[in-house]
Amino acid sequence: MSSLASVDPQIAELIKAEERRQSDTVKLIASENYVSKAVLEATGTVLTNKYSEGYAGKRYYEGQQVIDQIESLAIERAKAVFGVNHANVQPYSGSPANLAVYMAFLQPGDTVMGMGLPFGGHLTHGWSVSATGKWFNPVRYGVRKDTGRIDLDEVRQLALEHRPKLIFCGGTAIPRTIDFEGFASIAREVGAVLAADIAHIAGLVAGGAHPSPVGHADVISTTTHKTLRGPRGAMLMATSDEHATALNKAVFPGLQGGPHNHTTAAIAVALHEAAQPAFRDYAHQVVRNAKALADELSSRGFDLVSGGTDNHLILLDLTPKGIGGKPAAQALDRAGLETNYNTVPFDTRKPFDPSGIRIGTPSVTSRGMGETEMRQIGAWMDEVVTAVAKGDAEDVIRRVHHEVSELTSQFPAPGLS
């Protein structure tokens, strides 16, 4: 980055600082990952100079000889990795991808059913502050209080009562396997389109560590930068060609202008990586690591929503530890353990000061860490959270931070120098 350093030393220094921070931290944010050097290189290319509104072979600008090939490769790879007949790789990110689903199938005011945000859904599944909750008529399902899991009987009852045109399954804080078949049967019964938002678990689906929605959901929406380990971007996929035109039209010209071609190329690279046998091992190790971390935390008295995890994600209710999610996450961050505070189902606290934290294992697994390291991380989390709850955490935070640095130096993160 010698040009950047001479043209804009301030930004160059800040990027270096962020690289050091990412390298020195145990990143436990469930929706983040480290991309490979190859993915990183693809994002920083001259492809960012090109406008390509439209689709391969049918663009509104000339000079698409190369871009058409890149986008077609990304599409073919998405189709092969996920086993779908249609893929659109142009959505800028997860929220625009989900908005395109509304654009394709609904009129303003139509009813959409999704998981409530505080229960683990996503803003774009019809939450009140989102355009999807303001411009459509949202109906929300949650989880059972006694199990912390989705109750498909409740989902079915709500669907029969409200007759949504669109049902979303998937979300941002669901530690358990999503029953795509069960959702599909409900959607069929009420004549709704089923959209599976697999943003969090796309890498697990690609690697065979979570059941696939293919054959069940009408539309599959995903970001590309979480467990899939690609650049910040998104895709919309469909098992059959039936909805291909509607989805394409919704993305462009419905919602977006020119695709971000540098991102498209990086998505293609990430999909190439996801097609390798090593990615299957990665996906399964992500789940093994999450289970080991969940087990360690559970044995140390943490309250895990739903009692554990089937995937990459763990949602902790810190109420029994006597501390809110925000002060706990802030203290953990100072100790080098990066998490996010999160609402838990039936939370009595406010979203900006909720009862829980959400953690996940995609990033630490990308660094090559295994179950032994997960147990160590669980022990550190316990030490820090317990000390903060007692109001005397400075020495613990300092010591844990030192030990975390020793661990991260043994497990270099992909893509970082």
Q: Is the dihedral of CA 44, 267, 370, 147 positive or negative?
A: positive
Say whether 223 is catalytic: yes
Half-sphere exposure of 261 (CA within 13 A, CB side): 23
Nearer to ligand DSN by Cβ, of 31 and 227: the residue is 31
Query: Can you read off the two tokens belonging to residue 234?
Result: 């998104």
Contact residues for 153 (Cβ-Cβ < 8 A; gap 6+):
none
Considering the candidates 19, 24, 32, 53, report the single residue annotated as catalytic: 53
Considering the candidates 25, 172, 222, 223, report the single residue annotated as catalytic: 223
Say whether 249 is catalytic: no
Shortest gap between Cβ of 358 and ligand DSN (angstroms)? 8
| 141-200 binders of ligand DSN (CB under 6 A) | 172
Query: Can you read off the two tokens belonging to residue 341?
Result: 């505070």
363 lies in the site for ligand DSN, by CB under 6 A: no
Nearer to ligand DSN by Cβ, of 31 and 111: the residue is 31
Q: What DSSP line would sit under 53-76, residue for residue?
A: -EETTEESSS--HHHHHHHHHHHH
Structure-token match 């046998």, residue found: 277
How many residues of this chain interact with ligand DSN, rule: CB under 6 A? 4
Shortest gap between Cβ of 202 and ligand DSN (angstroms)? 12
Nearer to ligand DSN by Cβ, of 30 and 158: the residue is 30
- What residue is closest to ligand DSN based on CB? 31
CA distances from 314 to 197, 225, 286, 351, 407 (A): 18, 19, 12, 18, 21
Shortest gap between Cβ of 177 and ligand DSN (angstroms)? 17
* CA distance linking residue 219 with residue 225, whole number of Å: 19
At residue 36, what is the residue type?
S
31 lies in the site for ligand DSN, by CB under 6 A: yes
Say whether 51 is catalytic: yes
Shortest gap between Cβ of 183 and ligand DSN (angstroms)? 19
Pairing of strands 54-55, 193-197: unpaired
Nearer to ligand DSN by Cβ, of 111 and 222: the residue is 222
Contact residues for 46 (Cβ-Cβ < 8 A; gap 6+):
none
Instruction: Give the x-and-dash track for 115-144 against ligand DSN (CB under 6 A).
Output: -------x----------------------
Considering the candidates 27, 55, 124, 197, report the single residue annotated as catalytic: 197
Shortest gap between Cβ of 313 and ligand DSN (angstroms)? 9
Three-class SS state of 26: strand
Three-class SS state of 96: helix
Considering the candidates 165, 226, 326, 358, report the single residue annotated as catalytic: 226
Query: Can you read off the two tokens belonging to residue 167?
Result: 């049902």
94 lies in the site for ligand DSN, by CB under 6 A: yes
Q: Residue 112 is inside which H or E element, if any?
A: strand 111-115
| 253-282 binders of ligand DSN (CB under 6 A) | none
Phi, psi for 378 (deg, rounded to 5) = -60, -40
Pairing of strands 313-317, 303-304: antiparallel
* CA distance linking residue 116 with residue 287, whole number of Å: 25
Nearer to ligand DSN by Cβ, of 104 and 198: the residue is 198
Considering the candidates 16, 79, 149, 232, report the single residue annotated as catalytic: 232
Say whether 232 is catalytic: yes
Say whether 226 is catalytic: yes
Query: Can you read off the two tokens belonging to residue 233?
Result: 């971007």
Shortest gap between Cβ of 171 and ligand DSN (angstroms)? 8
Say whether 161 is catalytic: no
* CA distance linking residue 281 with residue 222, whole number of Å: 21
Shortest gap between Cβ of 355 and ligand DSN (angstroms)? 17
Nearer to ligand DSN by Cβ, of 23 and 124: the residue is 124
133 and 127 in contact (C-beta within 8 Å)?
yes
Nearer to ligand DSN by Cβ, of 86 and 226: the residue is 226
Contact residues for 16 (Cβ-Cβ < 8 A; gap 6+):
none
Nearer to ligand DSN by Cβ, of 31 and 309: the residue is 31
Shortest gap between Cβ of 372 and ligand DSN (angstroms)? 27
400 and 333 in contact (C-beta within 8 Å)?
no
Write out the residues near ligand DSN by the rule CB under 6 A. 31, 94, 122, 172
Which residues are known to be catalytic?
Answer: 51, 53, 197, 223, 226, 232
